[in-house]
């Protein structure tokens, strides 16, 4: 299994965002030149839903513009599963439009949050091991 290193601070920010948005799903973008120097853009979930998310298109446009201006790239899209496992749903897979980015899901279903990363390309899901840095 492939492994990526993600700064513990970024992992904690994702988990904190998920907890703050509970019981609804939250979403965001991880950007940077590489994961070791990554940072987050917390996005608005326009669906206000416990089981689905959709990023605000205006925010997403501004974030993508900022990423380009900073000469960075979108490394991952993250979202939470407040009451289910950290695995892509059928809708997550259907809407995975960025095969070069990872998809990070944090589950709050148990006592301890679980964060997992996936590569999703043309419906194929491959889990990527996350190593906190």
Gyration radius (Cα) of the chain, Å: 14
120 close to 99: Cβ distance less than 8 angstroms: yes
DSSP 59-74: HHHHHHHHHHHTT-EE
If one counts the domains in the chain, the total is 1
pTM score, whole prediction = 0.96
User: What are the counts of helices (DSSP H) followed by strands (DSSP E) for the chain?
Assistant: 3, 7
133 close to 8: Cβ distance less than 8 angstroms: yes
Q: What is the CATH number of the domain that holds 100?
A: 3.40.140.10
- Parent domain of 33: 3-132
CA–CA separation, 7 and 125 (whole Å): 23
Quote the DSSP letter at residue 49.
-
Beta strand 73-81 with 102-107 is: parallel
> Does position 1 have pLDDT exceeding 90, yes or no?
no
CA–CA separation, 64 and 47 (whole Å): 20
- pLDDT per residue over 16-74, tens digit each? 999 999 999 999 999 999 999 999 999 999 998 999 999 999 999 999 999 999 999 99
């Amino acid at each position: 299994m492939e492994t990526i290193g993600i700064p513990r601070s970024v992992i904690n920010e994702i988990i904190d965002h998920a907890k703050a948005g509970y019981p609804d799903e939250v979403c965001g973008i991880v950007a940077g030149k590489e994961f070791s120097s990554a940072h987050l853009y917390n996005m608005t979930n326009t669906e206000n839903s416990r089981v689905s998310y959709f990023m605000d298109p205006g925010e997403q446009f501004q974030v993508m513009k900022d990423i380009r201006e900073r000469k960075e790239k979108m490394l991952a899209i993250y979202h939470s599963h407040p009451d289910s496992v950290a695995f892509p749903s059928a809708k997550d897979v259907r809407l995975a439009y960025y095969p070069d980015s990872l998809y990070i899901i944090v589950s709050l279903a148990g006592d301890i949050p679980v964060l997992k990363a996936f590569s999703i390309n043309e419906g194929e899901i491959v889990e990527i091991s996350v190593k906190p840095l």
